[in-house]
Structure formats: structure tokens, C-alpha cells
């Protein structure tokens, strides 16, 4: 590697971040044979987990972010790494290109993952486009995506040992449909259970264990309830058991919806999630104890916080998911995803090596409509007491009249700190949900932008600097929300959009999350 000043800085930052990550305990692994929930303190909702050839794989919901349908991998159920994003882009509607419409709160969700006959399978639905099946021989891809003639809501795949295949699906009313190997329906939807605790039984996954068929489902919501339905026959009748309903305030409140998993040593565990505040829905790892052939979750009816790690027959290194990026290589890190499909002609990591270049394309009115906003999840500390600081260095030498470029905290509402060019002058501005709160003139071509956010208080603030040493606060307190109109956690975003004419560009030197 060419050893220049930027690489020297990168090395020092790497050392600093490596040390700070350990001290901040962003990993759930405590290093003493125990772990502390949440499993990952970031937005990885609707998890499904499988075990294949010594490795655990987890898929989660990414909705309208692409590359999406994120898959993580782990050797011990505690330490996770990015593995792949199964769907690079989603070309089944112009709305995924923000072409006059959008897919906020829609898009891919609640994916079912299974491995069968040498192939990985992903089954999911989008509310507008229907059902989709992704298949790959290797989990790293490439993945083939195919639109199905029929969509299944909150689908759970099941390959029975007699060679027949089924999908369980539904909301409140749970149905089972027999399908062929291409997931084309062979039968009508058969109603097998109607939720009777309250409305909203969903998120079903299917397992066959000790002669029983289990439908592992949730009554969703902030105060979620996880249940198991069981029967000796695939079509029922099914009996129901609450396996956990934890109303304890804190990081396990309303824990629900996910997967059952058995380790190599025979232990049983479940990965569920918790609605955890504006940063989103965090996965949680809970022990499972079989009592009278029911998979009871947690300990004495409560979710565990700190607990012994799963016995997987070996000890594995602590892993930390990446959050910072120096943009020094020609591909984006797997932690990144674009807000809707990217326009590949208007961003580059190679036109100015060592920088992420984002060019403006079509003229838009606001950030929600802008193509090529690069996003990633906001991470917090396991106990959520730490504030998250995101800083980026931005070269705005070639920003055009009417352009707006900067650093966002994005959900609904959203806010950002940016550089805008008007009447030939550059201004640093803080914008809160489309309203300019504060603006000040800028004379420099390089600027450092910073966002500080707290999942615990729901407050974010913004600042800027011209030397990366002295930061000046700008604007007001931004109150983050987890709004179902978006349905993913607040994300950090790097953006550049045009309000007058396309053609300008800006270069992001790096983005670091502490």
C-alpha cells in the first residue's frame, strides 16, 4: 500500500478506534464467557437465523435500502460479521428509484431464510410488488431473485422431511400453503389458526421438532408477545402457548419475533428483537428451555440481559461490526446502503481515489426525494448510555449553485447539517425537517460536519469545523422519532442534491462513527 499522509492518518485512526471500541463495549461479548443484550445495538429487525456447516447466518429487514437484505454470519451466535447484501438493487418499480414516488415503510421485510438441497433460500414480500424468492449456492452470492406469482405476508418457509414444501403466512389469521420447489402455490391457503390473545399474530417461522410442527409467532408491537403453536399435523389443529411476554422496562421490554436455533452441542436459543427507540429495533439472544415440549424463552419468564454464551464447542474471537470508512478502496463497506436504488452514474470511489464522490442528478425539493444518499445504521453502546458521534470531512470545491450537501440523521422527521450554495456564496446550515434553523457564511472549500445522537434521550445535535479541532454547534435540538411511515431506525446519511440544476459534485474524504 502506498504510505502517504492520509494512510498515516488512517492507521492512527484505526488504532484509536480499535481501542475505543473495546473500551466502549460495543460488542455484546464480555470476554469472560458471557454476553450482554442487545445482541447488536443497532437496527437489525425481524431476524431469521439458520445454521449451516458450522456457521450461523442471520437475515434482517432493510426495506428500501440497497444493497439490502443484509445477511450476517457468526461462529458462536454472539459475535457477528457482515456476510453479504443479497439484493444489490430492486428494479421492480420506478418508486425504488424515487421516480415520482417512494417506498418508505414498504419494500422488503420479514425475510425467511432456509438452506435446502445445497442452496440458500430467502423468501420475502413487499406490500406493493408481491412475493420474491432469492436463491444462491453460496451465501456470499451471487443471488438470483425471482418474482413469485403469489406473495405471502410475513412468510415462513418449511421443507418437510417427506419432500413436500410449505409456506406459513398471515396476519391475525395464520395460513399454510403447499408450494412446489419454485414456491408456486399447489394448494389454496388453509387457515390453521386465528390469534385469540389480541389482534396481530404474525411473523411465523416453522420447525419440526420431536414429532411436533411448531409455528413460532408473535403478537407484534412495542409490548410484543412471543408464542408457539404446535400440532402433530402440518394443517393442525394447533394449540398455543405464550413462551415469553416480558413487560419489564428496559432493553427486553416487549421482546418478540424471530427464530429458534439449535447449537452443535444441542443447546436451544432464540434470536428475537426489541423496539429500542429512535435507533430502531435491536436483536436479542435468549436461551430456550424445553418444558413439556414447549420452547420457553429466557429465565423464569423474563428475558436475560447478561448471560453465559452459547456452547458451540469452541471459543471464538470477539468481533465488532464496522461503522467508519476512509473510502480508500474501490468498493463500499457492507455496512453502507443507499436510500432507495443508487444511480450508479452519479457516485464514484475511483474518480478521485480516496474519496467518495456524490454528483447531483435530477432537481429535487428536499432530502426525502434525493437520489444517492448513502446511509448506515446508528450504533449505540449495549446499555444505550453513550452518545453516538458521526463526523465526516467534505470537499465542497465543486458544489454548484442551488446544491445542498452534508450529513443527515434520517427518518421522519429528519435533520441535517449541510453546505448550501446560493447567489454564489456558500453557507453552513442546520435544517430541521425541511426548515433552515441556522445559517452562516463559509469561506473554505473543506469542512468537517458532525452529528451527535443519543438513542436514550432521542436528541441529536449538529456542529461544524474548519480544522477538525474546534467545532461550532449549529441549529437546535433535533428530536428523533421511530416513525412507522419509514419503519427503519434513524440512519446517518451522506448526501448531495440539486435544487436548481444538476452537474455539481462533492467529495467525502471519510466518515467516522465513535
**Best CA proximity match to 427, nearest among 444, 408, 452:** 444
Cβ neighbours, 10 Å, residue 249: 6
46 catalytic? Reply is: yes
Query: Bridge partners of 419?
Result: 405, 428
Predicted confidence at residue 421, as pLDDT, reads 97
- Residue entry with cell 443497532: 42
**For 120-123, which contacts have Cβ atoms below 8 Å and span 24 or more sequence positions?**
120/52, 120/57, 121/157, 122/59, 122/69, 122/86, 123/152, 123/155, 123/157, 123/167, 123/183
Please tell me the number of Cα atoms within 13 Å of 13 on its side-chain side.
Answer: 16
Confirm if 453 and 378 have CB atoms less than 8 A apart.
yes
Identify whether 438 is a catalytic site residue.
no
| Coil, strand or helix at 386 | coil
CA distance 105 to 470: 38
All residues at 6 or more sequence positions from 422 whose CB lies less than 8 Å from its CB, including other chains: 401, 402
| Catalytic residue, candidates 29, 76, 129, 202 | 202
Residue 25, pLDDT score: 53
Residue linked to cell 435446502: 116
Q: Please tell me the distance from the alpha carbon of residue 38 to that of residue 18, in angstroms, as a whole number.
A: 21
Preceding peptide of 142 cis, ω within 30°: yes
Q: Tell how far CA 387 is from the center of its chain.
A: 19
Domains of the chain: residue spans and CATH: 24-308 (2.115.10.20), 337-513 (2.60.120.200)
Q: Which pLDDT value is given to residue 26? A: 67
Tell me which of 29, 43, 46, 275 is the catalytic residue.
46
pLDDT value for 19: 33
Q: Quick one: DSSP state of residue 350?
A: T
R_g of the chain, CA atoms, integer Å: 23
Q: What is the pLDDT of residue 16?
A: 34
Residue with cell 463500499: 332
pLDDT, one tens digit for every residue, the chain (514 residues): 333 434 433 333 333 333 333 334 568 999 999 999 999 999 999 999 999 999 999 999 999 999 999 999 999 999 999 999 999 999 999 999 999 999 999 999 999 999 999 999 999 999 999 999 999 999 999 999 999 999 999 999 999 999 999 999 999 999 999 999 999 999 999 999 999 999 999 999 999 999 999 999 999 999 999 999 999 999 999 999 999 999 999 999 999 999 999 999 999 999 999 999 999 999 999 999 999 999 999 999 999 999 999 999 999 999 999 999 999 999 999 999 999 999 999 999 999 999 999 999 999 999 999 999 999 999 998 666 679 999 999 999 999 999 999 999 999 999 999 999 999 999 999 999 999 999 999 999 999 999 999 999 999 999 999 999 999 999 999 999 999 999 999 999 999 999 999 999 999 999 999 9
Amino acid at each position: 500500500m502506498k504510505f502517504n499522509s492520509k494512510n498515516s492518518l488512517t492507521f492512527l485512526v484505526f488504532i484509536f478506534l480499535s481501542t475505543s471500541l473495546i473500551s466502549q463495549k460495543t460488542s455484546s461479548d464480555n470476554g469472560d464467557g458471557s454476553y450482554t443484550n442487545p445482541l447488536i445495538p443497532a437496527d437489525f429487525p425481524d431476524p431469521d437465523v439458520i445454521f449451516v456447516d458450522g456457521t450461523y447466518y442471520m437475515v434482517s429487514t432493510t426495506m428500501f435500502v440497497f444493497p439490502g437484505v443484509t445477511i450476517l454470519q457468526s461462529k458462536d451466535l454472539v459475535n457477528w460479521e457482515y456476510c453479504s447484501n443479497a439484493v444489490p438493487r430492486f428494479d421492480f418499480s420506478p418508486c425504488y428509484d424515487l421516480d415520482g414516488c417512494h417506498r418508505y415503510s414498504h419494500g422488503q421485510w420479514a425475510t425467511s431464510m432456509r438452506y435446502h438441497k445445497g442452496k440458500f433460500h430467502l423468501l420475502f414480500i413487499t406490500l406493493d410488488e408481491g412475493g420474491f424468492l432469492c436463491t444462491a449456492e453460496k451465501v456470499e452470492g451471487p443471488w438470483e431473485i425471482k418474482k413469485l406469482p403469489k406473495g405471502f405476508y410475513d412468510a415462513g418457509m418449511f421443507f418437510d422431511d417427506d419432500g413436500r414444501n410449505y409456506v406459513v403466512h398471515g396476519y391475525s389469521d395464520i395460513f399454510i400453503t403447499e408450494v412446489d420447489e419454485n414456491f408456486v402455490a399447489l394448494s389454496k391457503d388453509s387457515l390453521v389458526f386465528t390469534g385469540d390473545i389480541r389482534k396481530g399474530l404474525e411473523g411465523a417461522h416453522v420447525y419440526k421438532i420431536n414429532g411436533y410442527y411448531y409455528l413460532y409467532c408473535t403478537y407484534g408491537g412495542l409490548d410484543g408477545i412471543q408464542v408457539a403453536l404446535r400440532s402433530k399435523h402440518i394443517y393442525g389443529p394447533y394449540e398455543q402457548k405464550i413462551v415469553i411476554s416480558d413487560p419489564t422496562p428496559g432493553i427486553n421490554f416487549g421482546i418478540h419475533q424471530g427464530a429458534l436455533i439449535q447449537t452443535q452441542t444441542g443447546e436451544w436459543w432464540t434470536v428475537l428483537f426489541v423496539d429500542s427507540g429512535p435507533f430502531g429495533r435491536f436483536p436479542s439472544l435468549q436461551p430456550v428451555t424445553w418444558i413439556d415440549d414447549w420452547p420457553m424463552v429466557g429465565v423464569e419468564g423474563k428475558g436475560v440481559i447478561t448471560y453465559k454464551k452459547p456452547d458451540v464447542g469452541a471459543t471464538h474471537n470477539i468481533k465488532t461490526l464496522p461503522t467508519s470508512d476512509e473510502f480508500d478502496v474501490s468498493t463500499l463497506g457492507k455496512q453502507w446502503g443507499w436510500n432507495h436504488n443508487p444511480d450508479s452514474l452519479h457516485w464514484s470511489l475511483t474518480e478521485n481515489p480516496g474519496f467518495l464522490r456524490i454528483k447531483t442528478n435530477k432537481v429535487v425539493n428536499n432530502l426525502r426525494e434525493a437520489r444517492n444518499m448513502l446511509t448506515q445504521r446508528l450504533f449505540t453502546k449495549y446499555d444505550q448510555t453513550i452518545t453516538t458521534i458521526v463526523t465526516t470531512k467534505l470537499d465542497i470545491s465543486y458544489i454548484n449553485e442551488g446544491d445542498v450537501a452534508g450529513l443527515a440523521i434520517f427518518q421522519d422527521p429528519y435533520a441535517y447539517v449541510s453546505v448550501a450554495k446560493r447567489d454564489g456564496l456558500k453557507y453552513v446550515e442546520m435544517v430541521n425537517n425541511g426548515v433552515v434553523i441556522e445559517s452562516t457564511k463559509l469561506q473554505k472549500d473543506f469542512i468537517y460536519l458532525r452529528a451527535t445522537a443519543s438513542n436514550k434521550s432521542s436528541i441529536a445535535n449538529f456542529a461544524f469545523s474548519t480544522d477538525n479541532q474546534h467545532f461550532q454547534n449549529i441549529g437546535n435540538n433535533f428530536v428523533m422519532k421511530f416513525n412507522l411511515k419509514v419503519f427503519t431506525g434513524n440512519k446517518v446519511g451522506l448526501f448531495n442534491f440539486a435544487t436548481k440544476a444538476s452537474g455539481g459534485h462533492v467529495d467525502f474524504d471519510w466518515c467516522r462513527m465513535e
